[in-house]
Amino acid sequence: MTEIYILFIQILEKFFNVCYYVMGGFFMINILLMNIKGYDFIIVVFFVITFIVSVTSFILANKLHKKLNPSVDSSNSETSINEINKELSETKNNEIKSKRKNAVWGYSVFTNLIAIFPLLGILGTVYSLLTLVSDSSDVTGSFYGALTSTFWGIACAIFFKLFDALFVAPLMEENEKDAERFLDRKSLSEKAKK
């Protein structure tokens, strides 16, 4: 799990380096900071919220994965397999269903937050262009505000979509298959007991 966080931080660092060079380096820093005080602050707040939700979603999915796929100790495999079978037989369907529901809910919130970023960028563009129409004295500032809000909205969506595609979605997909298999096996064993 620690390796995944290190990889995520490295991806985040590279992402911001690319953003820095795409946005024009030091010249754009002043404009970005100026716009962060304005509308782009909303995008920053959503970035922080989405980051927290993405980590939470990954943790929930990982907990479900560990519950559905317990590791086998290779040193004493017969005892470990018996312990795993005992743990799986003692695991209640409701616990698996609850963990699955929490993981799916967290993932759903995460994917919906990702979809909001381009909309926030477009909203920032419209907001900046409306201020341009109402106050034509600051044409350059309004135009840069429109561009930066669009850029940050799209850049954040791309960043979190990559995180989703690389880490969370594959784990969620595997969890769904494992949960279905576990619940089917559990219901078959209960029918066999009757």
Q: Report how far Cα 2 is from the mean position of its chain's Cα atoms.
A: 17
Q: What integer pLDDT is reported at residue 172 of this predicted model?
A: 92
Q: Where are the alpha helices (DSSP H) in the chain?
A: 2-22, 26-36, 40-68, 77-90, 93-134, 139-163, 169-193
pLDDT one digit per residue (tens) for the chain, 194 residues = 567 667 777 776 777 676 666 655 555 556 666 666 677 788 888 999 999 999 999 999 988 888 887 754 445 555 565 665 666 666 667 788 888 899 999 999 999 999 999 999 898 888 888 877 777 777 777 777 788 888 888 888 988 998 898 889 999 999 999 888 887 777 777 777 76
Q: What integer pLDDT is reported at residue 30 of this predicted model?
A: 61
Q: b or e along 59-79 (b: 16 or more beta carbons within 10 Å of the residue's beta carbon)?
A: ebbbebbebbeeeeeeeeeee
Quick: pLDDT tens for 75-88: 555 556 566 566 66
What is the C-alpha to C-alpha distance for residues 155 and 120, in angstroms, rounded to an integer?
Answer: 11
Write the burial class of residue 11 (CB in 10 Å: 0-12 exposed, 13-18 middle, 19+ buried). middle
Q: What integer pLDDT is reported at residue 72 of this predicted model?
A: 47
Q: Would you say 31 and 144 are in contact if contact means Cβ atoms under 8 Å apart?
A: yes
CA atoms within 13 A on the CB side of 15: 17
What is the C-alpha to C-alpha distance for residues 135 and 128, in angstroms, rounded to an integer?
Answer: 10
Write down the domain spans for the chain. Answer: 2-66+96-186
Q: What integer pLDDT is reported at residue 132 of this predicted model?
A: 78
Q: What integer pLDDT is reported at residue 65 of this predicted model?
A: 87
Using CA atoms in the order 38, 41, 43, 44, what is the torsion angle rounded to 10 degrees? Answer: 150
Q: What integer pLDDT is reported at residue 146 of this predicted model?
A: 81
Q: What integer pLDDT is reported at residue 85 of this predicted model?
A: 62
CA atoms within 13 A on the CB side of 1: 9
The token pair that represents 138 in the structure block: 């600051």
What is the C-alpha to C-alpha distance for residues 194 and 188, in angstroms, rounded to an integer?
Answer: 10
pTM of the model: 0.70
